[in-house]
Amino acid sequence: MNEAALSLRDFNRLFPDEEAARAWFEDSRWPAGPVCPACGSVSDAYWLKSVRRWHCKGCTRQFTVTAGTPMHRTHLPLLVWAQAIYLIIVSSKGISAVKMAEMLGVSYETAWHLGHRIRAMMAERNPQLSGIVEAT
Ligand SMILES: [Zn+2]
């Protein structure tokens, strides 16, 4: 891989907290505003703070930015996903699940699943990863 990764300082500036991570995943997936996976309406939803989900005004379904992606039904904060993606991208020789668990403060099983799904997303060149991979 010859793509440049962000510096750790830039990463931390881009992802200071969970809200920033959510905004980043949403902006990269939905440049024109949230897209309802049920009815396809664009930017016609409002954020429900209490349940942390978008509510579609058209069809009343609720959804999040991970719907229909390998991150679907994740129980992990999006910030941890962003950190895991970053670790994988900057580890040119690969990173073990043991090491990733240690660095992220999650269990080995969680780290293993994160690595597995992120590598799958990288293989299909998921646009959600492009900001971390290509931004300089
Ligand atoms: Zn809808």
Q: What spacing in Å lies between the alpha carbon of 4 and ligand 1's midpoint?
A: 37
How far apart CA 88 and CA 82 sit, in angstroms, is 10
Confidence of residue 121 (pLDDT cuts 50, 70, 90): confident
Question: What residue segments make up the domains of the chain, in order of their start?
Answer: 1-30+70-136, 33-64
- Packing angle between helix 97-104 and helix 78-90, nearest 10 degrees? 130
pLDDT over 70 at 4, yes or no:
no
Q: What spacing in Å lies between the alpha carbon of 35 and ligand 1's midpoint?
A: 8
pLDDT of residue 131: 60
What percent helix, strand, coil does the chain show, rounded to 5? Answer: 45, 10, 45
pLDDT of residue 2: 41
Q: What percent of the chain has pLDDT over 90?
A: 65
Convert the pLDDT of each residue in 49-86 to its tens digit.
999 999 999 999 999 999 888 888 788 999 999 999 99
Q: What spacing in Å lies between the alpha carbon of 32 and ligand 1's midpoint?
A: 15
pLDDT over 60 at 46, yes or no:
yes
pLDDT of residue 128: 63
Q: What percent of the chain has pLDDT over 70?
A: 88
Mean pLDDT over residues 13-42, rounded?
Answer: 93
Q: What spacing in Å lies between the alpha carbon of 37 and ligand 1's midpoint?
A: 7
How far apart CA 6 and CA 58 sit, in angstroms, is 38
DSSP code of 12?
A: H
How far apart CA 55 and CA 52 sit, in angstroms, is 10
Q: What spacing in Å lies between the alpha carbon of 43 and ligand 1's midpoint?
A: 10
Q: What spacing in Å lies between the alpha carbon of 30 and ligand 1's midpoint?
A: 14
Q: What spacing in Å lies between the alpha carbon of 114 and ligand 1's midpoint?
A: 29
Could you give the 3-state DSSP secondary structure of residue 7? coil
Q: What spacing in Å lies between the alpha carbon of 54 and ligand 1's midpoint?
A: 10
